[in-house]
Structure 1
Amino acid sequence: MKFRVERDVLADAVAWAARSLPARPSVPVLAGLLIQAGDSGLVLSAFDYETSARATLAADVSEDGRALVSGRLLADICRSLPGKPVEMTLEGSRVSLTCGSARFSLQTMPVEDYPTLPEMPTATGTVDSGLFAHAVAQAVTAAGKDDMLPVLTGVRLEIDGSSISLLATDRFRLSHRELGWNPNTPDATVAALVPAKVLADTAKSLSAGDEITIALSAGNGGEGIIGFEGAAAGGVRRTTTRLLDGEFPKVRSLFPNEHLTVAKVDKASLVESVRRVSLVAERNTAVQLAFVDGVLTLDAGSGDEAQASESVEADIDGDELTTGFNPQYLLDGLTAIDEPVVELAFTQASKPVVISGTTDEAEGPGFRYLLMPRRLLS
């Protein structure tokens, strides 16, 4: 194996692939990055039996071959190299890396022990990369982080014709984002539960190109796979991951059809007020929100402890209402909204609030964030 490649292209691709390496590999070879040089150029691969990453980039290949080296070490080396072309050569059981006057010799791992990467499923359709990355970033806001409840650490991706819905919940909040895409089969209807962290990292890392190809193979018993492919500097990147096994809760019905109180508030003003007032909120206590006579009043703190109060103008339609929320969860939802004015819709004080941006109804629901209230201290 022998090839020559531009330093920036190599460093970027190695860093991207190395992000998929397991922190605690079950077997030593899974800490390796597979380097393959051939007719298609240079291919860098990482795999942990759950998620795979594969970067294909242009390179001047003199000799075909493949080698397995420590992925994190190679990433560190490539990041530190001078801005000159890189030449890599397999010499026996070691890989020689030369860049300018810098030279490294890396020990290889047994490439024959490295597992075969899963194949990319048949393409299901394509979506605008920037739009998808932003939609995923909004949706994962409500995804759970408790590994004891693995189903809630995923995002439910629902495809219905030319529409994609993303749903996530950690039992205390729920996010819902819809966006359009270009399906290969116009009437396709399919759903998948994708690990939230993998989905977020992948969508963000593939946003450099114009579009992302989504390939979904939803099998039974947790054997389904989803793949994502997009253009990147110097080539193409592809990620696959196993779908989560389990039944995602039926959460769509939690969004009420009618509301008794609806308040519209300037998002920036509300965010700043929540941040200030929550400074005195004790751990696991709520910030109180009172909607009265065109004013939203926020209060936190109680008894002999520090207290804070602040008011924000609000356009209130409906009954007066006082409720309370976990301040960080409230901020997470507010900051995920794009529009400058947010709408907080209630059925009653003890029921969840639905937070969204004020948009033209013809544009569809966009991003919605449902948040459970917290008990207020008396």
Structure 2
Amino acid sequence: MKFSINQSELQNALSVVLKGVASRSTLPILSGIYLEVRGDELTLQTTDLELSVQYTVAALVEEEGRAVVPGKLFADIVKNLSDAAVHVVADEEGAIITCDTASFSIKALNPEDFPGFPHVDTTQKINIPFNRFTSMVRRVARVVSKDESRAILTGVLITLEEHHLKMVATDSYRLAITEAEVPETTAEGFQAVIAGSFLQDIAALPKTDDPVSIALAENQIVVTYQDTKFVNRRLEGNFPNYRQLLPDSHATRVSMPVEHLVGAVKRASLLGQSSSPIKFDINIASQTTQLSTIAQDIGSTQEMISCQGEGEDVEIAFNYAYLLDGLSAVGTEEVFLEVQSSLKPGIFKAPEPENFLYLVMPVRIS
């Protein structure tokens, strides 16, 4: 095979397909990138046998063919080349990469050993504007669990109900829910749990006006965006019944400026002990909330911010890292805090039109 392509276009393609390269596999072929040139296109493929990625880009093809090159090495070489035309000549023995005055010769792998790209028969499919998709993922993906022993909690539950797409994530200490209207679709009943890290990889792709397509098969999910296709397994298991965590009433509800609240939480966290919770002392009569924290053997801090609300005076405390995760996902100027009692979860809500809810378990006040 022999082809030429601009360095920046090849680097962009490699940054996408590298997500599918196996990092700890006992099969050397899975650490490679499969290259195939045909017509006037270059197709790159990677797989770790769970996630498969395929990217197609225009190229100047002189000789059709295919090869498998070491993934990380090839990407590192291309990343450090000049912004000029990159010429690649490769077969199953090796590859020669030339750009400007630089030339590399690297060993290649046998393309016959590379797994074929999975062909999946999908049943339901939805299209979402890419900007809407990325903003939804940004709100919920940071809440997924890092604990692989409960794999279902490392994923995001995605459902479609009456043209409203909902994403839900929880690590059992907090819960994030966001929803948005999607264009006309016939995929009613659409439901799947998808790895949070995978959704973040999709959301990190270059932004365009093109929609992202999500299609479901029995055990897999197929995501298509522009000239890139991802096939990944769905997470198996029952997602927790999050609806039973959402109370239908509250004793106290206050509205606070997000910017002031985030600043106050960051300042309270400067004492540097993650085990020291931040206490909210809400006083309805004075329409104020005092934030305070005490760090053993270090010191204490308190700060008053104004609020508008109704209900009962209440004290409740939260882990500051969880607070910052939730508040950083709020895109409005104000945020509501709803509290039942100091021992029940606090709920932060962004006002309309932003549909975002963040529930966080309280820390017991000593």
Kindly state the Cα deviation for residue 281 of structure 1 after the two structures are TM-superposed.
Answer: 5.7
Which residue is equivalent to 2:119? Answer: 119
Identity %: 28
- The alignment's TM-score, normalised by the length of structure 2, stands at 0.95
Give the corresponding residue for 1:28.
Answer: 28
**TM-score if structure 1 supplies the norm length?**
0.92
Consecutive unaligned residues of structure 2, counting only runs of 5 or more, are none
Q: 2:107 corresponds to which residue?
A: 107
**2:165 aligned partner:** 164
Amino acid at match of 1:200: Q
C-alpha displacement of 1:101? 1.7
Specify whether residues 281 and 71 from structure 1 end up closer, same or farther in structure 2 by C-alpha distance, changes over 3 A only: closer
State the distance in 1 between where 2:135 and 2:293 align. Answer: 32
Aligned length: 363
* Corresponding residue number in structure 1 for 2:200: 200
Residue deviations 1:211-243 (CA, integer Å, cap 9, x gap): 1111111x2xxxx11111112xxxx11112101
Residue 368 in structure 1 maps to residue 343 in structure 2: no
Specify the alignment match of 1:4 in structure 2.
4
Please tell me the root mean square deviation across aligned C-alpha atoms, in Å. 1.7
Would you say the 8 A contact 1:120–1:215 is kept in 2? no
Query: What CA distance in whole angstroms lies between the structure 1 residues aligned with 2:126 and 2:184?
Result: 4
Aligned to 2:143: 142
Is the contact made by 2:271 and 2:295 (CA closer than 8 Å) also made in structure 1? no
**Matched residues in 1 for 2:301 and 2:42: separation?**
59
User: 1:39 corresponds to which residue?
Assistant: 39
Paired residues for 1:207-356 under 5 Å: 207-217=207-217, 219=218, 224-231=219-226, 236-280=227-271, 282-292=273-283, 293-301=286-294, 304-356=297-349
Residue pair 2:32, 2:71 contacting (<8 A) in 1 also: yes
Q: 1:314 to 1:47 in 2, by over 3 A?
A: same
- Give the 3 Å change call, closer, same or farther, for CA 143–14 of structure 1 in structure 2: same
User: Partners of 1:22 and 1:114 in 2: how far apart?
Assistant: 12
SS class of match (2:358): strand
Residues 124, 366 of structure 1: alpha-carbon distance in 2 compared, 3 angstrom cutoff = same
Hey, what's the Cα distance between the residues in 2 that align with 1:128 and 1:288? 39
**Alignment partners' CA distance in 1, 2:3 and 2:338:** 60
Q: Which residue of 2 aligns with 1:129?
A: 130
Q: Which whole-Å CA distance do the structure 2 matches of 1:130 and 1:51 have between them?
A: 23
Distance 1:111-1:288 versus aligned 2 partners, 3 A rule: same
Going from structure 1 to structure 2, the CA distance change for 1:206 and 1:179 (only over 3 Å counts) comes to: farther
| 8 A Cα contact 1:161 1:183, kept in partner | no
Q: Structure 1 residues 85 and 304 mapped into 2: Cα distance closer, same or farther (>3 Å)?
A: closer
Q: What's the offset of the Cα at 1:336? A: 0.6
Change in 2 beyond 3 A, CA 1:129/1:92: closer
Secondary structure of 2:248 counterpart: coil
Matched AA of 1:376: I
